[in-house]
Amino acid sequence: MNVAIILAGGKGERFGGEVPKQFVVLHGRRVMDYAIKAFEQHPDIEKIILVVPANWQAEILHEYPEHTIVLGGQTRRESSYNGLLACPPGTEKVLFHDAARPFLDYDTIQRTLVALDTADAVDTAIPATDTIIEVKDGIITDMPVRDNLFQGQTPQGFRYDIILKAHETVFIDTTDDIRLVREMGIPCKSVAGSHFNFKITSSNDLYMAERVTQVSAKKVARPLDMEGKRVLIFGGTGGIGSALTKRLQAGDALVTSLGSEIDLAQNTLPDSLIKDWDIIIHSAGVFIKEPFSELSVEAWDEVMNVNLRSAFLVAQLALKTMKNGGWLTFVGSSSSHRGRTSQSVYAASKAALNNLTQSLAEEFLDYGICVNCINPPRTDTPMRHRAFPGENRELLADPNQVAEDILRYCSGPETGHIVNLKYESQFRVKR
Ligand code: CTP
Ligand code: MG
């Protein structure tokens, strides 16, 4: 059996504040909830043990009755040991994870588990990118060669009998379980961690974490299966909309793709759209590139109506028609997180779409409707060419690639995600 032990027994003294950092709210959920979810979603993790301070025990137990809750100790080492003692008979692999690392991904768990097939102890680590210096009393005493230096993270994985023995026979002061096993002279393996899997240590790290929850850099790696899905697309004749339509039709979905025949500034949508939909995609948008001083009230209204107000109508349609759940996906813009010159109203409408997504995702949970917003980068579309004639098209994203990535969020359990798509080919040098 494979067990995950999530260490949440610390006080978070460097972070400060009343509430230990692992219980602080990050984008609507506790910091520790993220790691719990990551382990819950991994099919090879069969049991989860949560190590928490005494005054949090009742609340966490109430929320996670399916997991084992044990009390933390005075030190991290004691907390780890308490977790080990709660492992059921037959535990083979055990993974310790800091509750203060919310962005643990599936692949990192997988790498750790697989490495334990051939090792007794496995650390996850990333290459040190800064030069590491050793300093005593303000004087540099050593500068190890960076090539061999890594930063250790968690999870740290062990064969159960080995780590239990290490805890019971090695008595050095350590905040790290790997060190105990190394002390026994047992070789410890290192596998790749992830830059996103950083630990929230000081309050600055929470700001970083808030940004990461917005960016959600990880794309969902899942084969697209759209066969027989009933899909409604608004804005289906635009660059991204038509790429979506094409891709869905190639995957044998039943697509209804609407363009200018629907006036999205109305107060209702036609009754003919009240049908059972599995997926509704809102990809309609107008882009007006003008200085704010030159925009008319009519222009404000047009942008807000098509880009934002229509999203309310479409959300209402989803509620009415997705009786057995479904996916409501908005296509936003990179301008939603960065307003730019001559894009004021457009950027404001797209930013609002992100918040609308987050609110709806929470409210629609009970209806089984997943709501996500995908913000594509500058994309090679007719709308883009009209607004930026003469732009180097090599720096624009391929609408087919963008469509593929949008569709990944039209199946599966993700909801409330704001995904800012980025493609390496678009990184450019500012001249
Ligand atoms: N931890 C634990 N029990 C302890 C101490 C730490 O379970 N007695 C956990 C923390 O909750 C955290 C992880 O170990 O998830 C990593 O430790 P660290 O970042 O040092 O957290 P704290 O010890 O809480 O913070 P600080 O050192 O700033 O007080
Ligand atoms: Mg600590």
Q: Range with the lowest mean pLDDT among 99-103, 211-215, 380-384?
A: 211-215
Residues 390, 408: Cα–Cα separation, whole Å: 32
Average pLDDT over residues 323-336: 94
307 lines ligand 1 (CB under 6 A): no
**Taking the CB of residue 289, how many other CB atoms lie within 10 A of it?**
12
**Taking the CB of residue 288, how many other CB atoms lie within 10 A of it?**
17
Q: Range with the lowest mean pLDDT among 262-266, 277-281, 349-353?
A: 262-266
Pick the CATH number of 2-218 from 3.90.550.10, 3.20.20.140, 3.40.50.970, 2.60.120.560: 3.90.550.10
Question: How far away, in angstroms, is 77 Cα from ligand 1 center?
Answer: 10
Can you tell me which atom of ligand 1 is nearest the CA of 21? 24
Fold match, 2-218 / 230-427: no
Question: How far away, in angstroms, is 174 Cα from ligand 1 center?
Answer: 12
Looking up tokens 């107008």, which residue turns up? 286
Q: Which amino acid is at 87?
A: C
100 lines ligand 1 (CB under 6 A): yes
pLDDT band for position 379 (cuts 50, 70, 90) = very high
Can you tell me which atom of ligand 1 is nearest the CA of 72? 3
Digit-coded pLDDT (tens) for 336-347:
888 999 999 999
Q: Is 400 helix (H, G, I), strand (E, B) or coil?
A: helix
Beta-strand ranges (E) seen in 316-406 are 326-331, 369-375
| Residue-level pLDDT at 127 | 95
pLDDT band for position 217 (cuts 50, 70, 90) = very low
4 lines ligand 1 (CB under 6 A): no
Extract the tokens encoding 25.
């709210």
Q: Which amino acid is at 369?
A: I
Residues 80, 6: Cα–Cα separation, whole Å: 9
Q: Range with the lowest mean pLDDT among 114-118, 215-219, 412-416?
A: 215-219
| Residue-level pLDDT at 216 | 56
| Residue-level pLDDT at 271 | 96
9 lines ligand 1 (CB under 6 A): yes
12 lines ligand 1 (CB under 6 A): yes
pLDDT at position 30 over 60: yes
Digit-coded pLDDT (tens) for 76-107:
999 999 999 999 999 999 999 999 999 999 99
Digit-coded pLDDT (tens) for 309-319:
999 999 999 99
Of 78, 186, 195, the C-alpha closest to 122 is: 186
Q: Is 80 helix (H, G, I), strand (E, B) or coil?
A: helix
Can you tell me which atom of ligand 1 is nearest the CA of 100? 15
Mean pLDDT of the chain: 93
**Taking the CB of residue 347, how many other CB atoms lie within 10 A of it?**
20
Question: How far away, in angstroms, is 55 Cα from ligand 1 center?
Answer: 16
Q: Nearest ligand to the C-alpha of residue 76? A: 1
pLDDT at position 24 over 90: yes
26 lines ligand 1 (CB under 6 A): no
Q: Is 16 helix (H, G, I), strand (E, B) or coil?
A: coil
Q: Range with the lowest mean pLDDT among 121-130, 153-162, 206-215, 302-311?
A: 206-215
Residues 23, 121: Cα–Cα separation, whole Å: 29
Question: How far away, in angstroms, is 315 Cα from ligand 1 center?
Answer: 42
Residue nearest to atom 10 of ligand 1 (CA): 10
Of 422 and 4, the structure prediction assigns the larger pLDDT to 4
Can you tell me which atom of ligand 1 is nearest the CA of 99? 15
Task: Just give the CATH number of 230-427.
Answer: 3.40.50.720
| List of long-range contacts for 200-204, beta carbons under 8 Å, 24+ apart | 200/15, 200/21, 200/22, 200/31, 200/100, 200/101, 200/102, 201/14, 201/15, 201/21, 201/100, 202/14, 202/15, 202/16, 203/15, 203/16, 203/17
Domain map (residue ranges) of the chain: 2-218, 230-427
